[in-house]
Structure 1
Amino acid sequence: MKHQTVDQLNAVADVHAEATHLLATRGERLERWAQLLEQNPNRVLGALTGTEHQSVETRERMRSAGSPITIAFEDPVFRALGMKEDTYGEAKRFFELTDWQLHGIVCHCHVGATMTARWAASRVRAAMSGRSGFFAWLRGAFMH
């Protein structure tokens, strides 16, 4: 995938300016990410390996094809809002997440090499609420 401007996207897709306005806040972007993941809840996604053990520079460049971050980057609205790539560092910047929050969403130490999109969506919602850990995941898994 390559970054495209709103004008370039308009040439190939029906992008509405009001859609980008509706996702102005961190919470709105995170909610859309969770909804994108829930569109195919049983989809198997790739996890990133050992995010907490990498140097800052390495962690920022980390990516995994078919990860929860890839799902977000595939969204033309997020790209129109300025999401540039599907790396850990870009997701951290774009969604305004801490390393700990993003680690909880994408790292393999919680799920192994793969996860379902439903699980990732519950972790995104946990990051939205500021709660993390097993009970936040459990609540998210049953509430959504």
Structure 2
Amino acid sequence: MKHQTLDQLHAIAEVEPSAPYSTLTRNQRIERWAELLERHPERCLGTLTGTEYLDWEARDVARGDGSAISVAFEDPVFRTLGLKDDTYGEAKRFFEIADWQLHEIVCSCHVGATMRARWAATRVRAAISGNRIFGWLRRMIAR
């Protein structure tokens, strides 16, 4: 094994200290996801189709190349913290968000087949600060 300085490693790899990220709260994970999306605000992301119509098993394994969830999975910090893949169910578990919240972020019914990353970042942040009354109302209607 060849010894290299941190500067040498920076030249060939993206080096991020892992200690500050050893644990992140739910809100910190969601905020980091929004920040990752905002790094490339014009990036065109794919959406998932009809998540509200899928049974829970199909919804949990639903995924799409280049989706907002894929952006989160590309992050080495999230993978270190336990994000296992870029499926709908894994995002729901990892970010501790409800179906209706994740639906608002990734479903095609709001924007069509694609969306800009900045739009997704706004929707991700809404999962932190979302209107609780609106969320309760959506859950009551969805029953």
Regarding TM over 0.5, the answer is: yes
Which amino acid counterpart does residue 46 of structure 1 have in structure 2? G
1:123 maps to what in 2?
Answer: 123
1:103-137 CA distances to partner (integer Å, 9 max, x unpaired)?
A: 0000000000000000000000111102388xxxx
Alignment of 1:72-87 (within 5 A): 72-87=72-87
Which amino acid counterpart does residue 16 of structure 1 have in structure 2? P
1:14 maps to what in 2?
Answer: 15
**Superposition deviation, residue 15 in structure 1:** 4.1
Runs of 4+ aligned residues of structure 1 deviating over 6 Å after TM superposition are none
Aligned-CA RMSD value = 1.6
1:80-101 CA distances to partner (integer Å, 9 max, x unpaired)?
A: 0000000000000000000000
SS of aligned partner of 2:109: helix
1:92 maps to what in 2?
Answer: 92
SS of aligned partner of 1:127: helix
Structure showing greater radius of gyration is 2
2:60 maps to what in 1?
Answer: 60
- 8 Å Cα contact 2:46/2:114 also seen in 1: yes
2:30 maps to what in 1?
Answer: 30
SS of aligned partner of 1:109: coil
1:31-67 CA distances to partner (integer Å, 9 max, x unpaired)?
A: 0000000000000000000000000000000000000
How many residues were matched structurally? 121
Provide the C-alpha distance between the structure 2 equivalents of 1:86 and 1:17, rounded to a whole number of angstroms.
21
Which amino acid counterpart does residue 102 of structure 2 have in structure 1? L
**Superposition deviation, residue 16 in structure 1:** 2.2
TM-score for the superposition, normalised by structure 2: 0.80
SS of aligned partner of 1:86: coil
Alignment of 1:124-139 (within 5 A): 124-131=124-131
Gaps of 5+ in 1: 1-11, 134-144
**Superposition deviation, residue 20 in structure 1:** 1.7
Provide the C-alpha distance between the structure 1 equivalents of 2:14 and 2:80, rounded to a whole number of angstroms.
11
- 8 Å Cα contact 1:19/1:77 also seen in 2: no
- 8 Å Cα contact 2:18/2:77 also seen in 1: no
SS of aligned partner of 1:84: coil
TM-score for the superposition, normalised by structure 1: 0.79
- Give aligned-pair identity as a percent: 61
